[in-house]
Amino acid sequence: MENEYVSHIGGHITLFFTVEKDGRLLRNQGSRGVGINIQHGVKVKLSVKEKSGSIEDSEIQIFDFHNQPMDESEKFYRDLLNDLVYARLVDNTTSFNIQIRLELPTSQGFGMSAAGLVAVALAFRQFSQRGNIDQYYRICHRIERQYGSGLGDVLGIHAGGVEIRLQPGAPGASGSSLGFKCKQPIILAWQPDEARHTSNYIDNEAWQSKITNAGHKALNNLKNGPWNHSRWKEILEQSGKFSVESELSEETARKHLLDVARDTVRSLDLQSLVSIRLCMLGTSCVVLPRKLNRLLTDSELESINSAFIERGLASMITEIDH
C-alpha cells in the first residue's frame, strides 16, 4: 500500500532484575538486570488517514495474540501519539490509521507493552523522518513507567540480543545497556489461564525488596568483563539463583509451571541439552540451550513444543533476536 509504514519489534524477556523506581523523573526510573530479545513481538502498520485533520482523529486498532480487539489499550497508545506531538516529532495536523498486532500474550513477561510502544514510535519515525532514535525510545520508556507496565523492557529492546542493563533509565538518558547477537532457537511456554501485571510486584514493598536484593547479587557477578557469548554459562547460573533467592519460583503457579516444564523435558531425555528459566514477571518460562555451540534441532524443538501443549501449557518456538 502506498504511504504505508510497517514496523516490527520483537518482545523482551527478563531473566533477572532489580527495581529502581525512586528517581523523581520517570526517564531515570527502571531496572538493572539481564534479559533476552525475541523474534516474536508486535507488528504495526501506519498510514495517513487525513492530511488536513488532527492527530486526535487517528484510528487505532489493537489486536491481541488471539486476534481479538484490545480496545482497553487504546489510551496507552494515544498517550504515545500526544507525546510525539509534544516533542515535535510528529505534527498535530495529520490523522492516521494505526493497526497494532501482538504476536504473544500480554501480562506473561514477554514485554508486549514495550514492544508495542517502540513499534508504533518507530513507524512514526519512518513517516516523519525527524529526530534521533533515542528520542523515540525515551518517550516509550516514560509511558511504560507512567502506566507501571514495565521497568527495563524498553532499555533491553534498545540494546538487542542478549542484553545487560547496567544503569536504570531510558536509552539516551540515565539508562545504560549492552547486548550481543546470539541467533538461537528457543521455546516459550506459559500457563494460558494465568496472567500477572508487573505492577503487582514492583509496587509491593516486600516483593520489591526480595527482587532487588537478589537482582543486585546476580548483576554484581556479571557486570564486569566483556559482554559476549563467553558469559552464557554465567547468565544461566545467575538467573537460576535469582529465581530461587527472590522466591518468585516458589509461588504456586510458577512452581507448577516449572515442575511441568522440567518433567516434560526429562520425559524426552533432553535435560542435558537445555535450561529452563522463568520469564519475569509472568507465569511463563523459556527453554534455552545449555551451550551455544549446540543448537536444538528442529525435531527436538518440535518434540518439546508438542509435549508442552499436550501437558496443558501454551507454547511457541521462537528465537533470540538481535
State mean pLDDT over 22-27: 88
> What percentage of the chain carries pLDDT values higher than 70?
98
How many angstroms separate the CA atoms of 115 and 144, rounded? Answer: 10
- CATH fold for domain 4-179: Ribosomal Protein S5; domain 2 (3.30.230)
Q: Is the pLDDT of residue 45 over 90?
A: yes
- Predicted TM-score (pTM) of the model is 0.95
Instruction: Assign 21 a pLDDT band (cuts: 50, 70, 90).
Output: confident
* Lookup: cell for 49: 488517514
* Residues 163-188, mean pLDDT to the nearest whole number: 96
Residue 322's pLDDT is 72
- Residue 224: CB atoms within 10 Å: 7
Overall average pLDDT of the 49-70 stretch:
95
Task: For domain 180-319, say whether CATH 3.30.930.10 is its number.
Answer: no
Q: What does the pLDDT read at residue 203?
A: 75
CA dist., res. 131 & res. 291, Å (int): 41
Say whether the peptide bond before residue 288 is cis (omega within 30 degrees of 0). no
| Overall average pLDDT of the 141-159 stretch | 94
pLDDT in tens, 257-293: 999 999 999 999 999 999 999 999 889 999 999 999 9
Comparing 39-53, 120-134, 189-203, 307-321, the range with the smallest average pLDDT is: 189-203
**First-residue to last-residue Cα distance in the chain:** 28
Residue 276: φ, ψ to 5°: -110, 125
Nearest to 157 by CA among 7, 5, 4, 314: 7
Domain extent listing, the chain: 4-179, 180-319
